[in-house]
Amino acid sequence: MNGKILGDIELRTEYDIELNQSLNGLSDKTHLSSKIHKITLSRGTIKDGFLSGISKNFIQYKTSNFKDSDKEPLSNALITLELNYKDSLGNKALFIQDKKLNGVDYNLRSAFISTIDKYHTRKITYINYQISSIEFFKDGIPDGDQLGYIVGNEEKMSLIQNAFPAMHPKLVKINGKDFIETHLCMQNGVEVDRYPCNLNN
């Protein structure tokens, strides 16, 4: 209608991007070459210029380093695979895997963003199957108690307590494993000195 897309739609986009950058070192120049391949699958309804529905993105990043005098890369190219998903309610899931060409070394990060209400969301992040953080947002800005988790014990917790008392660390057990839970209170993106982090918004 009037040159705009309205109503139900199924959309697939696929494209490649290549980025090249040069860094001057003390003796040689290093070239960074990045290739990005992105596929987007979307299904839903377009209204007022916005898509409401389900979308899936698959992105592959491939980065290689070259010395100015060499044609071969300095090391195996680093390949990053990213997959994200959004449902019709606004809930999101993100999976990122950094993997080298040797097929052995990799790091997996995953995040799940849940819609609490019209203004608030919660994001839970895992690194290699272990919980890393729980964050709360208001209108996309950190707001509320921001919790961090690291594997630890009483001794490590005491070190954190002495160095960063404002983080209010405590030992918690998750799936039978001891973690140190830390706290950071944010209000509209600004850190505030408050514990417990009770915000009325």
Residue-wise DSSP of 129-184: TEEEEEEEEETTEE-EEEEEEEE--HHHHHHHHHH-GGG--EEEEETTEEEEEEEE
Q: Tell me, what's the pLDDT at 41?
A: 83
Helix (H) or strand (E) holding 19: strand 7-24
Task: Match 């290739």 to its residue by tokens.
Answer: 35
Q: Tell me, what's the pLDDT at 93?
A: 94
What whole-number distance in Å separates Cα of residue 30 and Cα of residue 37? 23
Give this prediction's pTM: 0.75
Q: Tell me, what's the pLDDT at 130?
A: 92
What whole-number distance in Å separates Cα of residue 98 and Cα of residue 79? 6
Q: Tell me, what's the pLDDT at 179?
A: 96
pLDDT per 10-residue tile (average), the chain, 201 residues: 71 84 65 81 76 80 61 61 87 85 74 94 93 96 96 91 93 94 96 88 69
The partner residues of 49 in beta bridges, in order of sequence, read none
**112, 106 in Cβ contact below 8 A?**
no
**96, 88 in Cβ contact below 8 A?**
no
**100, 79 in Cβ contact below 8 A?**
yes
* 86 φ, ψ (degrees, to nearest 5): -135, 130
Q: Tell me, what's the pLDDT at 64?
A: 66
